[in-house]
Structure 1
Amino acid sequence: MTDAIAYNRLADLISSRGEPARYQGGVLRTRGICHDGDAPDTVAIKRTAEGVAVYCHKCLGNEDFLTEIGWTLADLFDRPLERNDDRPADDTWIPCQRHGHKRVAQYIYRDANGRTVHGVTRCDAKDFAQWRPDPTTKSGRRWSLNDEHGNRLVPLVPYRLPELLAAKEADRVIWIAEGEKDVHALVDHGLVATCNAGGSGKWTAEHAQYLEGADVTIVADRDAKGREHATAVVESLRNLAHSVYVVQARTGKDAADHFAAGHTDSEFNQVWAPVPCPGDPAVTQ
């Protein structure tokens, strides 16, 4: 038997998403998230000699389940499979690889039920490629969010939407950064954070709707585009959020720089309180 690398990765992923799971007869069973199933044992997950096997008893396979969690068949093996040259390595390939670029990060955007809506892959040249799940392709992805006429095929959702909604329910402050890297810097320091795909200028009312009644702190990048982006986010949240504050890094340009310099979340510089909480001293200033 192997070290169960793929099996453990999958079990950890299911646990991190809050999905119910139980062991029965040497098999890990969980809910059929590939079809919004309520039964807690629709999907069977079992260790194999080479990795892990997944089978949904309603879908009669594993393709839809893997799509929902952002995996491909290659992820089911403890060691990378040898591939033909015409099939990209699904976990590292990016369109600009032909120019010598390498993938350095991948961000999965999920809907309120935790299903994969689309992904963003970042390379070492700081290019960002967006994709949507497509089981009909060899990679399980289609590297465009639009059809041939430019019509968007996937909904606009904030990054880490399930975590955002849980935080709003728990009356926690939700932080908005300009990009995914800064979101993870905030999350790594115990905060709940989100952003939109595509960076500055791409936040819309569709993103803002999920923050109705929430307490929000926006981390504005320390440049002109950062200020413009923060202002646009503020305007989208007026008469919607409970409170909105805008802060900047004490050191450097963004949240990642701020924490890298050793500062804490309480040491951001507050630059604007356009929608303060009722009773906040800023209201009377």
Structure 2
Amino acid sequence: MSIAFNRLADILRDRGVPTRYQGGALRAQGICHDGDSPDTVAIKRGNNGGVVIFCHKCQGNREFLAAIGWTEADLYDEPLERQQDRPADDTWIPCRERGHKRVAQYVYRDENGGVVHGVTRCDHKCFAQWRPDNGAKSGRRWSLNDKEGNRLVRVVPYRLPYILKAIAEDRVIWIAEGEKDVHALVDHGLQATCNAAGAGKWTEEHAQFLRGADVTIVADRDIPGRRHAEHVVETLRGIARSVYVVQARTGKDAADHFAAGHTDSEFLKVWSPIPYPGDAAVGA
């Protein structure tokens, strides 16, 4: 029995949405597109509990979930964090056959805390990305795309719920090049984020979440790091209230900076492309 499946069936019944069973699935009208196509949404019980939803017109479940007020977390009988996040002693990663060991896992969440995707890091600095999949035996798939290369999950910055709360509290948002540096900043009382997959992967979609924010970018001390920072700046024009670019006083990145005993006030300011109103500009 799937608790989530029965809960969804009750919601559809209470809303008067026509449903019927066909081909091993509960079929429902596509309320995600005004219900103009009957039987376009297939609803099945997941292999590991929970419920799987697919709208053949929308080619996914995001719009359907929004229409009923659900998030990805509601698809599971138990909270998503318990079922989908691997426990601390589960060290399987795709590069394990080469003798690599997992040393960190970073979970990217949506505005409501639901899991969007995750990144694992091994002791040889291999990074593998996964997405939740209730139909998979492990509860996840080691790809963010389908077979045709189309992305299946949203683009969100790391630690999004914390970032949105910090912006509402008028706190500075720090952007680093990777998750390790983000945690170095967070460990020193700052609110920080990044994109998955490192330098060059920040997009305008990431930037949209930082509207109205005061941002400080920590650029790695190398050519890719500088280019990455410059690209992030361009995506934030017209979005952020202010943007500053700094570098580590010692070493390459934020982790090196703090490891050398420096504080957040000791980063080297190298550029103020979007200075806070009234501040003096600093050239690149």
Aligned partner of 2:226 in structure 1 is 227
Q: Which has the larger radius of gyration?
A: 2
Q: Closer, same or farther in 2 for the Cα pair 1:71/1:250, shift >3 Å? A: farther
- CA deviation string 1:63-118 (max 9, x = no partner): 8155621645974xxxx9xxxxxxxx7x3110100111100000000000100000
1-structure distance, mates of 2:269, 2:142: 39
2-structure distance, mates of 1:188, 1:253: 18
Asked if 1:218 corresponds to 2:217, the answer is yes
Aligned sequence identity (%): 70
2-structure distance, mates of 1:70, 1:106: 15
Aligned partner of 2:238 in structure 1 is 239
Q: Closer, same or farther in 2 for the Cα pair 1:262/1:149, shift >3 Å? A: same
Counterpart contact for 2:107–2:117, Cα < 8 Å: yes
Q: 2:76 is paired with a residue of what secondary structure?
A: helix
| AA at the equivalent of 2:237 | R
Q: 2:182 is paired with a residue of what secondary structure?
A: helix
Q: 1:96 is paired with a residue of what secondary structure?
A: helix
| AA at the equivalent of 1:110 | R
- CA deviation string 1:192-218 (max 9, x = no partner): 000000000000000000011100000
| 1:182-201 equivalences in 2 (<5 Å) | 182-201=181-200
| AA at the equivalent of 1:269 | L
Q: 1:107 is paired with a residue of what secondary structure?
A: strand
1-structure distance, mates of 2:235, 2:131: 26
Q: 1:281 is paired with a residue of what secondary structure?
A: coil
Q: State the aligned residue count.
A: 215
Moved over 2 A (4+): 65-68, 70-75
2-structure distance, mates of 1:188, 1:217: 16
Aligned partner of 1:282 in structure 2 is 281
2-structure distance, mates of 1:124, 1:73: 20
Counterpart contact for 2:217–2:245, Cα < 8 Å: yes
| AA at the equivalent of 2:114 | R
Q: Closer, same or farther in 2 for the Cα pair 1:66/1:150, shift >3 Å? A: farther
Asked if 1:123 corresponds to 2:135, the answer is no
Deviation at 1:139, TM superposition (A): 1.1
CA RMSD of aligned residues (A): 2.6
2-structure distance, mates of 1:140, 1:132: 9
Q: Closer, same or farther in 2 for the Cα pair 1:272/1:121, shift >3 Å? A: same
| AA at the equivalent of 2:239 | L
Aligned partner of 1:68 in structure 2 is 80
Q: Closer, same or farther in 2 for the Cα pair 1:73/1:244, shift >3 Å? A: closer
| 1:142-221 equivalences in 2 (<5 Å) | 142-221=141-220
| AA at the equivalent of 2:187 | D
Counterpart contact for 1:131–1:143, Cα < 8 Å: yes
| AA at the equivalent of 1:163 | Y
2-structure distance, mates of 1:274, 1:225: 18
| AA at the equivalent of 2:185 | L
2-structure distance, mates of 1:73, 1:262: 33
2-structure distance, mates of 1:130, 1:123: 12
Deviation at 1:136, TM superposition (A): 1.4
Aligned partner of 2:247 in structure 1 is 248
1-structure distance, mates of 2:164, 2:226: 26
Q: Closer, same or farther in 2 for the Cα pair 1:150/1:65, shift >3 Å? A: same
Q: Which moved more, 1:102-111 or 1:131-140?
A: 131-140
Deviation at 1:135, TM superposition (A): 1.5
Gaps of 5+ in 1: 1-33, 36-54, 57-61, 81-88
2-structure distance, mates of 1:162, 1:171: 14
- CA deviation string 1:208-246 (max 9, x = no partner): 000111000000000000000000000000111000000
| 1:86-105 equivalences in 2 (<5 Å) | 91-105=90-104
